[in-house]
Amino acid sequence: MRSNKEVRDDIIEKLTTVVDPELNIDIVNLGLIYNVDLDEDGICLVQMTLTTMGCPLTNILADMVTRALKDIPEIKNVDVEFVWEPMWTTDRLSRYAKLALGIH
């Protein structure tokens, strides 16, 4: 049986495969993931935000997150919750994302 840390690391790694179709950078490096929790029943809650509140990609990104996590054996179901507080800013971008977007 894997430790909680191993499972969490696996979840984050899989989330890096979810690429924002508009910015062409993964949602982890964009700083869109606020929290990940996996309960004892195998329900994985991913709390995330978007770069803009009215983003038309909400459902698409939720589906992409669900598909990215489906192969993790400890996860039975994925619940994606969009969070708007605190508001996303470019301060949440990783160094990689800032370089890719030309932000210094």
Per-residue pLDDT, 43? 97
Query: Which residues are within 8 A (CB) of 11 and not within 5 positions of it... i.e. 6 or more apart?
Result: 36, 38, 44, 69, 72, 75
User: What is the identity of the amino acid at 76?
Assistant: K
> Quick one: pLDDT band at residue 92, thresholds 50, 70, 90?
very high
Helix axes 58-69, 4-15, angle to 10 degrees: 130
Does 53 have pLDDT greater than 90?
no
Q: Is 103 helix (H, G, I), strand (E, B) or coil?
A: coil
CA distance 3 to 44: 15
- Mean pLDDT for 75-87 is 96
Entry pTM: 0.93
Segment 68-80, tens digit of pLDDT: 999 999 999 999 9
Per DSSP, helices labelled H in 1-104 are 4-15, 58-69, 95-101
Query: Which among 22, 61, 88, 29 has a CA at the least distance from the CA of 69?
Result: 61
